[in-house]
Amino acid sequence: MNVSTKNLLFILPFICFVLGYSICNILIGNKTYTTPNLIGITTYEALKLTSPHQINIRIVAEKESNHIPAGTILNQKPSAGRLVKTHQPILVTTTKSPPIITAPQLTTQKQNYIETTCKDMHLKCKLYHIEYQAPAQSCIGQLPYAGDTVEDNKMTCYIAQNKVNMYIMPDLTQHSLPEVLNFLNQHSERVSIFYGSKKIKEPYTGFTKVISQKPLAGSIIKLDSKLHIYLEVA
């Protein structure tokens, strides 16, 4: 066996390996595919598109969302339309559900406690100050109610104002007119007296008692300069 034959036999296995690898690569390996658009669909739906082509999906980040179903793809790399090879991963960012937050018990609590509690729980609390017969700066109502789920991390609380000026209108009928006028003059500068449909002025001689009134007894009234009381006398 001459030298050239020996050299050929020596390099023949390498030639066969290269030829075999090339043939296999042509037949089954390193195929390229166009990346599908995965944005807006779930990871399960995306896997049904990519698995037949042996393309992997890898979740690299998750973002909380209240409005988009969990597992929805928000972003992808490579982008749709780019060429990818078999077993090459597509990197995606998906949604996840935020943790469920239940509303704390804030009713009857002071405003500073409410603000601190909501800050610690990362809640946005809208405060409304209203006049109410309750301790100043205390919460008289909340939405959502304690124990209910907080949507979008937002709450609403109603706080009693410092100065409360709301009262229940007393029943003035069947009381003497002088007695009624003495009481009303302490609270309102606007009192109109009627006899039938006719408005009368001082002196109220001959009229002894009140027979009807506006606002009616039991009405919620605010004592201010706009309060106007109407009395009918007999």
With H, G, I as helix, E, B as strand and everything else as coil, classify residue 125: strand
Q: Is residue 3 part of a domain?
A: no
The whole-chain average pLDDT of the chain stands at 83
Q: How far apart (Å, rounded) are the C-alpha atoms in residues 78 and 92?
A: 9
In a domain, 10, yes or no: no
66 within domain boundaries = yes
pLDDT in tens, 105-152: 999 999 999 999 999 999 999 999 887 777 888 999 999 999 999 988
My answer on whether 36 and 78 are in the same domain is: yes
Q: Do residues 222 and 191 share a domain?
A: yes
Cα distance between residue 128 and residue 109, in whole Å? 14
Domain of residue 120 covers 111-160
210 forms beta bridges with 233
| Whole-number pLDDT of residue 154 | 93
Q: Is the pLDDT of residue 43 over 60?
A: yes
- Does 104 reside within a domain? no
pLDDT digits (tens, 9 = 90+) for 68-112: 999 999 999 999 999 988 888 999 999 998 888 999 999 999 999
The sheet carrying 210-214 orders its strands as 198-200, 190-195, 228-233, 210-214
Domain count along the chain: 3
Strand partners, 232: 194, 212
For 195, the 3-state DSSP assignment is strand
Q: CA-to-CA distance for 21 and 93, rounded, in angstroms?
A: 36
Residues 93 and 71 in one domain: yes
